[in-house]
């Protein structure tokens, strides 16, 4: 009678290891895709709420907070400071890239803005520490930029996130931080595309 061996052969072990590796790679890819999709959706929703809040302020007060002085257009960021006791948002600023305050929302405008854009929602998207504390960020932790007058929406506002790659336009060009010399978020003259950027235009 034949004797059967209960031990695994080397080929069988290698096959199992390879199968586990393949399944792990598929699972990790699916997880990464799901996480990126969730961050993209949350960033799109946040930009939509910000736009609605700004539109509400323009309807009530007759203007959008500007990001430029004179004829030079510029990019800015939004900062939301919290009350140290209540942790409620008590001030909204438009700030320059060097961290200086460019414009502070008047109290009435802040209240109108927060009626549309829930303060609790905003707090989840604020950088928590460092030099960028209280700056509004997207789902990946990158900055959300605001411009009025806009570079794309010339009679309205631009709200832009650089997306998952943290760069405006193609991954081979552009910059995660807009510069004054860059006249648009992506340069149409060099066939640069907006790639995975998330914006209201």
pLDDT tens sequence across 60-97: 999 999 988 776 778 889 999 988 888 889 999 999 87
Contact (CB, 8 A) for 97 and 77: yes
Give me the mean pLDDT over the 147-167 stretch.
Answer: 86
Query: Residue 49: is its pLDDT beyond 90?
Result: yes
Q: Are strands 101-104 and 144-147 parallel, antiparallel or unpaired?
A: unpaired
DSSP string covering 82-122, please?
E-TTT--EEEEEEE-TTS-EEEE--HHHHHHHHHHS-HHHH
Report if pTM > 0.85: no
Query: Residue 178: is its pLDDT beyond 60?
Result: no
The model's confidence at residue 24, banded by pLDDT at 50, 70 and 90, is: confident
Query: Residue 201: is its pLDDT beyond 70?
Result: yes
Query: Residue 177: is its pLDDT beyond 60?
Result: no
The residue extents of the domains of the chain are: 45-199
Which is higher by pLDDT, 127 or 176? 127
Query: Residue 179: is its pLDDT beyond 80?
Result: no
Contact (CB, 8 A) for 68 and 74: yes
**How far is the C-alpha of 125 from the C-alpha of 139, rounded, in Å?**
7
pLDDT of residue 197: 85
The model's confidence at residue 41, banded by pLDDT at 50, 70 and 90, is: very high
What proportion of the chain, given as a percentage, has pLDDT over 90? Answer: 35
**How far is the C-alpha of 46 from the C-alpha of 42, rounded, in Å?**
6
What proportion of the chain, given as a percentage, has pLDDT over 70? Answer: 82
Contact (CB, 8 A) for 93 and 81: yes
| Segment among 43-52, 71-80, 110-119, 187-196 with least mean pLDDT | 187-196
């Amino acid at each position: 009678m034949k004797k059967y061996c209960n031990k695994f052969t080397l080929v069988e072990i290698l096959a199992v290891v390879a199968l586990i590796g393949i399944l792990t790679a598929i699972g990790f890819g699916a997880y990464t895709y799901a996480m990126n999709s969730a961050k993209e959706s949350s960033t799109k929703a946040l930009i939509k709420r910000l736009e609605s809040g700004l539109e509400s302020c323009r309807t009530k007060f007759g203007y959008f907070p500007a990001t430029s002085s004179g004829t030079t257009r510029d990019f800015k960021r939004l900062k939301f400071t919290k009350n140290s006791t209540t942790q409620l948002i008590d001030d909204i600023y438009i700030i320059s890239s060097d961290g200086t305050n460019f414009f502070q929302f008047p109290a009435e405008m802040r209240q109108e803005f927060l009626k549309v854009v829930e303060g609790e929602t905003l707090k989840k998207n604020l950088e928590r520490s460092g030099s960028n504390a209280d700056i509004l960020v997207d789902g990946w932790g990158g900055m959300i930029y605001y411009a009025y007058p806009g570079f794309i929406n010339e009679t309205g506002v631009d709200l832009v996130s650089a997306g998952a790659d943290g760069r405006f336009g193609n991954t081979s060009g552009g910059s995660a931080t807009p510069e004054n010399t860059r006249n648009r978020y992506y340069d149409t003259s060099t066939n640069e595309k907006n790639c995975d950027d998330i914006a209201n235009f």
